[in-house]
Structure 1
Amino acid sequence: MLYFSRWKTILIWLTVLVGIVYAAPNVLPRNVTDSLPEFWPTKSVTLGLDLQGGSYILLEVDRASLVKERLQAVQDETRQLLRKERIGYSAITANDRSVTVRLRDPSQADAARTALQPLTQPISSGLMSGGSVSEVELAAPQPGVIAVNLSDQGIDYRVSAAVTQSIEVVRKRVDELGTTEPVIQRQGDDRIMVQVPGLGDPQRLKELLNQTAKLTFQLVDQSANAEQVAKGSRAPAGSELLYTNDSTPQPVLVKNQVMVSGENLTDAQPGFDQQTNEPVVNIRFDSQGAQRFGRVTQANVGKPFAIVLDNKVLSAPVIRTAILGGQAQISGSFTVQSANDLAVLLRAGALPATLDIIEERTVGPGLGADSIAAGEIAGVIGAVAVVVFMLAAYGFLGVIANIALAVNVVLLFAILTAIGSTLTLPGIAGIVLTMGMAVDSNVLIYERIRDERRQGRSVVQAIDIGFRKALATILDANITTLIAAVVLFFLGSGPVRGFAVTLAIGIITTVFTAFTLTRWLVAAWVRGRRPRELPKGWLRLVPEVTRIPFMKVRLKIFGLSMALCVASLASLFAIGPNFGIDFTGGTLIEVQAKQGQADIGDIRTRLGEAGIADPQVQEFGTDREALIRIGSAGDVSDASQQALVDKASGAIAADYDIRRTEVVGPTVSGELAWAAILGVLASLFAILIYVWLRFEWQFAVGAIIATINDVILTLGFLVVTQLDVSLSTVAAILTIVGYSLNDTVVIYDRVRENLRRFKKMPLGQLLDLSDNEMLSRTTMTSATTVLALAALFIFGGEVIRSFVASMLFGVVIGTFSSIFVAAPILIFFKLRPTDAAAAAKAAEAAEKEEAENPTERGTINPGRA
């Protein structure tokens, strides 16, 4: 284990060098990276919105409006096809997802079905799917009645096509804002995720994305009075009542027939009217649109012509003369900004369907800068604490562990940079946690080396056997955490996935550095110094040898743990956790006073006067900051929830800066809640299978029971403290799952080894021996992790404090359960074979394994170490 060939040495240090090269741009000044050669890596880790500010918006295609529009189109086509074949009908009505045709002559039913057959022709569903979809189905519910029904497949196809087309339209609109590196991706079947970092005006982004921008030119119906229709009179057939977009909307009666649509536009530019000097939008049609516009204006001189945008009348000027040049002007109550935005919308094109904002998260640049500073401080303090602790505990071996830790962080940043990952605030928490957990591998190795040395082996033998025996334990322990991270990545969203990526990469780099770099450095030290004794530290949390009778008190402590679990479950239902808006839906706004302290009572009063019912306002972080929560009632729609943000922001904007806003509609909150439950259950099941395959079924059941114990107690802790339960808290719980199992698997690995060594030892005594042998490692690992998390809790900022507090509690309780819950369960399930035949079989298997692995009794030539 201590011999390295030349090519292995070169490969190890080449990997370290490449890592340094890729990670360096993250700390080098921009002018230095710009001066590097073209072949040199210059990319740095992309900062998430919570670190550099910006907006995250999740859009969903409004399926109901899409179905309504499609149904209107089918109704028009049905009418045209029947008229073409001269088939009479008394009524054509659209309802729900069906168009119903009542024929005047029921004997023409077959002829009508034949005439409507073109509607049922399959449409291609795309080259990738290679199939077709029947969008319309014909049915005859009763004689003389034909139902034209939209199929589920057809609606799904239209929604999918609308998402595909909308992505391009959204991208054009966002690009018009001049932002850098926006992320626009499809999510699921009917959603689009828009992430714009560094955006200074998120409200403008929302306004651009929340408009369909469907422009039409329609004639005004002068046969009836619009005011009378608005008061309740019936609108003439073929017309509808619309309103202007003025501050005081005015009714306008508009004919349904679209004379010219925005699809024929080729350009739209903001400008000023030459006579009134008011902001206008100058538009230009293509050849087909120009001809159509010319014919309409020529035939309707002296009549008003409504310019309609998303069912709002922008203006309804009277046509003075025919407009034949293909150019026109849209006027209205525009400001310079609104005229420019309308031009942007028209140039980008209309969305094929209405897009609803169902989730929004906005972080101001000031808060992002504060988050970076807090993350840097927490990282530095956590790193210094871990480095000092390792030096004090292991002396020169601690120096080697710290070198490996530094390289670990470098490789972590190098991989994040290479794969183009986004670093978020929970991602920084993942890095700090990785620093705390990375030393676990070195602690395992060093404690194992000390173990072997106490048994009388030489320094070289102890080092070699220590590395060899620690390998399987480290792999088992880290794979369980990796499973939790993978489940978190696939079932999480946003920053939670960033945390999962960072944690998973940190696990991989930790295993690499522990079994290549640390081993190479120790081998080089042995080869150069030829030590006769292991270096000693100045700090020892527990004595080298302990004989604590853990199993004697197991029933009392196990009973206490079960009682606390029952109390936690009772409080969970009686009191309930303090669910954040991720799970309840609602609005969260973080504000900072422009001057002086934040006045909680004044903020609450202003929000109440603005018509916001039951706002929750609390201090947050410093005395200048406050957190506003506006709950989401069960009947509040996603769109209504969005309106609350504007109302609340307007009420306090004069004296407070908006640092962060989060809006989660009821649609998303329900999905996130289920995803959280599935995430925890899926990770537990996956880890159960892994432990079962690697050990025995008793170990797997024991590990899961101990982990469930930790999860329940952590939930009880969240109820008692009333900390905010958000997506980040779910990430913390899943990390606790991985950490607790890490600890449990390490102890189980020693139990399994001792079962082979001490074949006649009573199981209770053997478990006591295993717990005592691993006590030093367990306390050292917990101490380093707590140090790193404590730095994050104190200096990492208020935003992730509940997240870190949950992990701190989980680390402590996970250490406790590994000793007092996981081990006693093995006695309950009778792990030790009880009959003589089973015992003999186990002894024979152990002797065979020992014979196949004689390295433990061999010698090592220090000259080749």
Structure 2
Amino acid sequence: MHNKGLIKIFAIIFGLVCIYQLSFTFIASSVESQAEEFAAQQISEDQEDYPKLRENAAKAYLDSVASEPYFAGITYESAKEKELNKGLDLKGGINVILQISVRDLLIGLAANSEDENFIAALDSASELQNNSPKTYLELFFEEFDKKEGAKLASPNVFANKSLSEDINFDMTNDQVRPIIRRKIDESITSAFEVLRERIDKFGVTQPNIQRLGDTGRILVELPGAKEIARVQNLLQSTAQLEFWEVYKAEKFNQFIIEADQALAQSLERESTSEEDEDENVEDAAAAQGEDENQDEEDIDELLASDDDVDDEDDFSKSNPLISLIQGGGDPQGPVIAYFGIKDTATVNDYLSRPEVKSKLGQELRYAKFVWGKPAKDSEVIELFALKSNRKDEPNLSGSVIVDAQQSYDQVGRVAVNMQMDRKGARIWEQMTTKAAETRTQIAIVLDDIVYSAPGVSNPIKGGNSEITGEFSILEAQDLANVLRAGKLPAKADIVQSEIVGPSLGQEAIDSGINSFIIALLFVLVWMIFYYGKAGVYADIALAVNILFIFGVLAGLGAVLTLPGIAGIVLTIGMSVDANVLIFERIREELQKGKDQALAIKDGFSNALSSILDANITTGLTGLILLIFGTGPVKGFATTLLIGILTSLFTAIFITRLFIDGYAKNGKPLQFATAATKNFLANIQINFLGKRKIAYVISGILIILSIFSLTTNKLNLGVDFVGGRTYTVRFDQAVNAVELESQVNEALGSAEVKTYGASNQVRVTTNYKVDDESSSVESEIQEALFTSFQSYLPKGFTYEDFKVGGDNEDYGVMSSMKVGPTIADDIKRASFYAIFGSLIAVFLYILLRFRRWQFSLGAVAAVSHDVLIVLGIFSATYSFMPFSMEINQAFIAAILTVIGYSLNDTVVVFDRIREFFNEHPKWHLSKIVNYGVSGTLSRTLNTSLTTLIVLLAIFIFGGDSIRGFMFALIIGVVVGTYSSVFIATPVMYDTAAKKGIDLSDKNQKEIDEETESSIA
């Protein structure tokens, strides 16, 4: 090996850099451990709510030492910024994908156009988006073009005042499209910047925010975030701040009376109509089982005798609106009336009716009814009437705000102080001057909620204003943050989310580390057992490889996830494979009688081609996974790719440095132990002679798999069908069937399965899957709490139960939501990933081996493996004691199976090609059998070590990746089999028909000669 000195220097420098990068993680972890010890000393376990008190104490400790140097001038604060990023599944937190509404952006660009063609195109695009890979904008353009004579540059669409500098009436649709695309892209970029600024002020370390292509989606990852509701509100709040003049309550006294009378008449007509329609149904019901209904009749008679109830019923019928009023406002004030919070939907319905609106009269015709912000624990809410106009535009909008800070008002209440720009200050002064003169109020409205409506005694100059309300300090800080960052240009819906509680994250770390250590120990011991002292050098190279992987991950700022740990552990098996290939080739050269130095040189040289081919094919699948994957899957692909590169370097160069250094003075170095010296040495098997049996076995397995896939199908997870999943933990063993029946009563449709231990279940539901609002999330969790309450610890509240709640040991430990639109996108991406990897590998092998027969054999083997893995999952998911959902992690497993199977196949093909070049006069059948037999030791060795590694992760690696590992275990077994009994025979059969063996002998003669030569 040339340039040994240069390689040594590079390896040492690279190792030191990795140690430096990892030192930040060590320092941050050490300080946090000290903080936990400090908190444990300060807060005893017998104190009420001690987990939160300890958390606060630890946080206070970290704040106090954050800027103090810990080691070599490195502070905790700087170490925390550069530590190895932990993913959601290891640290807990929230991961969401937000969909910026392109429809809203288009409506805004069109100045709220009501053009029929424009609205119809928007509606059609909305319908098509769920089942189309195209973006909403492209679908809108296509649908608009279908409208005869429709012009994007129409004054009723985009040729309006706000876009006059970019679009004129003479432009064609083709000329307008790129302008609209640019405007949409600018708006999404603006939304991205607004969200990033909000998140930067939130206080989470190592947040991640990125745009996802041109889809209008934005990924936000906040590891360690615990206040889930606060985060969701921060991300989705549009921050539509407006300042409105308001009417005095006395203006609406007559309106309420007249509206109440009109409603009473209207509702009576509707009631009479419904009674006529239902008369036959009621008669039929009355004729059934009078005896059975006797008790109910007695109750009805009792109720009918209650005069108070009668009076109330009559009053609510004759005064439907007034009967809902729970208090009147000051006639000179802005509050028209107080209503019950539970009645707001009814009141909204009443006030929106045409017969009610007609009573507003000319003076109040543009009145806009808006609710106030209810006080904490209050059951009533205020109703205001804003002085709107024909265009429904406020007097002043929040775009004029240049700064906002949390503050306190004159009586010490929490408030938000705002500063306006020059233009805003001028309008604000005009508004307050008018309000002071007329003794009226100005409503400060945020996202259609009146936060305050203060009276004004004097004009306010300088553009200063204040929002007061029932704020906590954190709420006020968040509101100030949102107002400083500005409003989102359109609503942002959470189309995918994953929330993981911190205790579940810690368990994932523990299980991941356990599986890592067990797998590593086995591999280290096995290499020494099988290869003796050479195995020790391979183990040292493996340790260096692990240092490199973690160092590179820390240096790149990559996120370590639980599948990422699995990727590292799998990389251990792959790096061993490279050393196994080298050592097996050296043993072969020694058996040929070569001296040790030459055998080592030729062994490394001959193994290089196989190592490169095997790792490149695996790398191709990893690269495709990186491109199409998201979240933890991307983390798996990242560690896999980094591991492939570092494994190649350590196996080819580091191991070589140690072996050459030991053997340079002629010291004998054995590449085997007494137990393994002659294991599989000089073995020759007629594999091709068994291929027909293999074809039959594989054919049966494939037919059974296809049958199961068509009848039993697959257990598709929410990644592919949309919906929500919740991992719920109890303090006792529970029966999933009982829980499912109770949940179904509340949600209508849900699936409950035991997930890991007997006290933990996973709930999956598609209840209101199309509704993106955060209120649905609360509604489902409240339904789960009600359904599961009898199984929860005594005194357990909803605040304890919900995800991110007060109790970290029981309740909802994690949740995940995938909207139907993004589920379709995930399915498409998975399809592209699998078939893209097959095509990429086919082309690479074709390029590398120069014959399509090799490519066909490899793809046939891989397809065979994928079908069988799918078939086993289809046939067994209903009774396996762990989750076998088909999700993104499963797609990662399939691609890894493809990579592993190809790795095996390429090594075999490489040896066949080598024999073909060395013995051109041999018959192809003999070359193939010798090639497969020559790699048998390596194949079994690598498969065994990889299988043990996977089993360690499967057993000790945690519930969330057990299905993932099971797929890989099947893949390794089936992949090892297919590389010998599918890939090679298919290649041979297609090559033999083309006459590649240059032989005129028939197949029977070839087989007979092969058998005799082996004998």
- Common fold by TM > 0.5: yes
Give yes or no for the alignment of 1:531 onto 2:668: yes
Q: 1:404–1:518: 8 Å Cα contact kept in structure 2?
A: yes
Tell me the residue number matched to 2:332.
Answer: none
Aligned: 1:703 with 2:858:
yes
Distance in 1, Cα, partners of 2:396 & 2:207: 33
Which deviates further from its counterpart, 213-222 or 744-753? 213-222
- The more displaced of 210-219 and 614-623 is 614-623
- The answer as to 2:490 corresponding to 1:353 is yes
Q: State how 1:588-737 maps to structure 2 within 5 Å.
A: 588-593=725-730, 595-597=731-733, 600=736, 604=740, 607-608=743-744, 611-631=746-766, 635-637=770-772, 642=777, 647-648=782-783, 651=786, 653=798, 654=800, 656-695=810-849, 696-722=851-877, 723-737=884-898
Query: How much has 1:636 moved relative to structure 2?
Result: 4.8
1:808 to 953, 969, 984: 969
1:116 is displaced (CA, Å) by 11
> Could you tell which deviates more after superposition, 497-506 or 214-223?
214-223
* Residue from 684, 697, 715 that aligns with 1:560: 697
CA distance in 1, matches of 2:157, 2:777: 43
Equivalent residues in 2 for 1:371-386, closer than 5 Å: 371-386=508-523
Alignment partner for residue 447 of structure 1, among 565, 584, 593?
584
CA contact (8 A) 2:530 2:672 kept: no
Give 1:521 deviation, angstroms: 1.4
Partner SS, residue 675 of structure 2? coil
Structure 2 CA distance, aligned partners of 1:520 and 1:605?
65
Question: Which residue is equivalent to 1:842?
Answer: none
Q: Could you tell me the TM-score, scaled by structure 2's length?
A: 0.72
* CA–CA separation in structure 2 for the residues paired with 1:364 and 1:622: 17
How does 1:26-37 map onto structure 2 within 5 Å?
26-27=25-26, 34-36=70-72
**Contact 2:680-2:936 within 8 A present in 1 as well:** no
After TM superposition, give the deviation of residue 755 of structure 1 in Å: 1.7
SS at 2:98 equivalent? strand
Question: 2:612 maps to which residue?
Answer: 475
Alpha carbons of structure 1 residues 151 and 606: separation in structure 2 relative to 1, 3 Å: farther
Name the counterpart of 1:119. 160
Q: Encode CA deviations 1:522-569: one digit per residue, 9 max, x unaligned.
A: 112222353286542534795323233322221121122122122212
Classify 1:116/1:772 alpha carbon distance in 2 versus 1 (closer, same or farther; 3 Å). closer
Q: Greater CA deviation, 644-653 or 559-568?
A: 644-653
Which letter maps to 1:203?
Answer: A
**What displacement does 1:174 show?**
2.1
CA contact (8 A) 1:541 1:780 kept: no
SS at match of 1:621: coil
Q: CA deviation at 1:397?
A: 1.4
Closer, same or farther: CA 827–672 of 1 in aligned 2, 3 Å: same
User: What does 1:70-109 align with in structure 2 at a 5 Å threshold?
Assistant: 70-72=109-111, 95=119
> Quick one: distance in 2 between partners of 1:271 and 1:5?
66
Supply the distance in 2 between the matched residues of 1:178 and 1:312 (Cα, whole angstroms): 27
Q: Is the 8 A contact 1:394 1:537 kept in 2?
A: no
Offset of residue 822 of structure 1: 0.7
Q: Which residue does the alignment assign to 1:208? A: 234
Q: Which runs of 5+ in 1 are unaligned?
A: 76-90, 99-111, 125-132, 141-147, 840-865
Aligned residues of 1:427 and 1:495 also touching (Cα < 8 A): yes
Paired residue for 1:775?
936
Tell me what 1:229 maps to: 351
Contact 1:392 1:537 in 2 (8 A): no
For residues 773 and 836 of structure 1, the distance between their equivalents in structure 2, rounded to whole angstroms, comes to 20
CA distance in 1, matches of 2:772, 2:453: 33
Pairs within 5 Å for 1:23-62: 23=22, 25-27=24-26, 34-36=70-72, 43-62=82-101
Give CA deviations for 1:596-634 in whole Å, capped at 9, x if unaligned: 44564675466456x422222222222332222122677
Q: 1:765 to 1:589 in 2, by over 3 A?
A: same
CA distance in 2, matches of 1:139, 1:29: 60
Secondary structure, in 3 states, of the residue corresponding to 2:244?
strand
In 2, the alpha carbon distance for the partners of 1:538 and 1:672 equals 50
What is the distance in 2 between the residues matched to 1:616 and 1:600?
Answer: 9
Q: Is 2:590 aligned against 1:460? A: no
Q: Does 1:819 align with 2:941?
A: no
Q: Which moved more, 1:421-430 or 1:175-184?
A: 175-184
Q: Give distance in 1, aligned partners of 2:977 and 2:95.
A: 40
Which residue number in structure 2 is paired with residue 799 of structure 1? 960
Match of 1:263 in 2: 399
- The RMSD of aligned alpha carbons is 3.6
* 8 Å CA contact retained: 1:459, 1:533: no
Q: TM-score normalised to the size of structure 1?
A: 0.83
Whole-Å separation in 1 of the counterparts to 2:669 and 2:416: 86
Instruction: Mark the CA change 1:542 to 1:648 in structure 2 (over 3 Å): closer, same or farther.
Output: farther
SS in 1 for 2:747: coil
Deviation at 1:191, TM superposition (A): 2.0
Q: Are the counterparts in 2 of residues 357 and 642 from structure 1 also a CA contact under 8 Å?
A: no
Q: What per-residue deviation string (whole Å, max 9, x for no partner) do you get for residues 391-416 of structure 1?
A: 11111111111111111111112222
Q: Tell me: CA distance 1:462–1:139, structure 2 relative to 1, closer, same or farther (3 Å).
A: closer
Q: Please state if 1:416 is matched with 2:553.
A: yes
Is the deviation greater in 556-565 or in 482-491? 556-565
Distance 1:605 1:349, change over 3 A: farther
Give SS of 1:699's match: helix
Mean Cα deviation higher: 652-661 or 614-623: 652-661
Quick one: which amino acid aligns to residue 200 of structure 1? K
Decide which of 531, 534, 548 is 2:685's aligned counterpart: 548
Distance 2:839 2:372 in 1: 58
Structure 2 distance, partners of 1:787, 1:827, is: 32
Cα 1:643–1:66 shift into 2, 3 Å: farther
Letter in 2 for 1:815: T
Letter in 1 for 2:401: L
Unaligned runs of 5+ in 2: 32-68, 123-152, 260-320, 322-349, 789-797, 802-809, 878-883, 1001-1015
Distance apart, 1:149 and its partner CA: 13
Q: Which structure features the higher share of strand residues?
A: 1
Which residue type is aligned with residue 759 of structure 2? R
Tell me what 1:847 maps to.
Answer: none
> CA separation in 2, counterparts of 1:623 and 1:116?
60
Q: SS in structure 1 opposite 2:210?
A: strand
Q: Per-residue CA shift, 1:669-714, capped at 9, x if unaligned?
A: 1111110110111111111111001102111111111111111111
Classify the secondary structure of the residue corresponding to 1:622. coil
- 1:364-384 deviation digits (Å, cap 9, x = unpaired): 221111111111111110000
Aligned 8 A contact 1:67 1:97 in 2: no
Contact 1:268 1:344 in 2 (8 A): yes
Sort the Cα spacing of 1:123 and 1:457 in 2 relative to 1 into closer, same or farther, 3 A.
farther
Task: Determine the C-alpha separation between the residues in 1 that align with 2:512 and 2:956.
Answer: 8
Q: What SS is found at the alignment partner of 1:538? A: coil
Query: How far 1:808 sits from its partner (Å)?
Result: 0.9
Identity of aligned residues (%): 33
How far apart, in 2, do the equivalents of 1:639 and 1:31 lie?
A: 38
In structure 2, what is the Cα distance between the partners aligned to 1:541 and 1:627? 51
Choose the corresponding residue for 1:758, options 916, 919, 933: 919
Cα distance in structure 1, aligned partners of 2:876 and 2:484: 53
Q: Does structure 2 retain, via aligned residues, the 8 Å contact 1:615–1:630?
A: yes
Q: CA deviation at 1:165?
A: 1.8
